[in-house]
Amino acid sequence: GEQVEQRPPHLSVREGDSAVIICTYTDPNSYYFFWYKQEPGAGLQLLMKVFSSTEINEGQGFTVLLNKKDKQLSLNLTAAHPGDSAVYFCAVTPSSSGQKLVFGQGTILKVYL
Amino acid sequence: NSKVIQTPRYLVKGQGQKAKMRCIPEKGHPVVFWYQQNKNNEFKFLINFQNQEVLQQIDMTEKRFSAECPSNSPCSLEIQSSEAGDSALYLCASSLLGGRYAEQFFGPGTRLTVL
């Protein structure tokens, strides 16, 4: 079945610096991709969804890039601030999964002053 | 922001006890999912429903876990006989459509501790 590899597992950056998280998936027919943010004691907050073959989506303070050719999904926080400190997960809907999501292992991001 | 409601937020049970948690999906969302997130941040899909009908479920769910989404009542997930390995965050999510392009919105979770 689909496997999603997320790197790095831990990331520590200074306020104002960028932070990049990358997910690599195996099923070339995966068709819908998500980034979620999880703060302590909370559920998953949807940050962004993408599904086009090559797509760049911009949100508030971050950019998401999907490269289906390389089977990679990335999240780039352009100027991190302490409020961005959280665990970030990518999630993929593989072709064989019906509707259930396959998650990456998570990245613990810490933004320090 | 997600409007999925999960209760209770925390649940503590002894081994062998029943553990029941509830979920109210976002209004108008016909599809409900249950996932288990363990302490290593590994997610396991348990079961999903469209309206009151089960769409998919894993073997674990079939044996000790039971779930339902009755009409006009909260959805529920119940573990018949809790084991230490069931300690985890149980996340409920709902989506607007039954199709494959619908994003899932998550509740805050029920953190189960089995002593």
Q: Taking CA atoms, what residue in A is nearest to B101? A: A32
- What is the spatial distance between Cα A10 and Cα B49, in angstroms, rounded to a whole number? 34
Left if phi > 0, otherwise alpha if psi is -120 to 50, otherwise beta: which for A71? left
What dihedral angle (degrees, nearest 10) is formed by the CA atoms of B4, A107, A4, B5? -10
Q: Which of A36-40, A47-51, A76-80, A97-101 has the lowest mean pLDDT?
A: A97-101
pLDDT level of residue B39 (50, 70, 90 thresholds): very high
User: Which of A111 and B56 is assigned the larger pLDDT?
Assistant: A111
The pLDDT assigned to A48 comes to 87
The pLDDT assigned to A49 comes to 85
Mean pLDDT rounded to a whole number for chain B: 91
Percent of chain A with pLDDT over 70: 93
Q: Taking CA atoms, what residue in B is nearest to A106? A: B41
Mean pLDDT within A59-88: 91
pLDDT level of residue A99 (50, 70, 90 thresholds): confident
Q: Which of B100, B106, B109 sits opposite A99 (nearest CB)?
A: B100
- What is the spatial distance between Cα A109 and Cα A12, in angstroms, rounded to a whole number? 6
Chain A interface, mutation test: which of B46, B100, B110, most A Cβ atoms within 10 Å?
A: B100
pLDDT level of residue A94 (50, 70, 90 thresholds): confident
pLDDT level of residue A42 (50, 70, 90 thresholds): confident
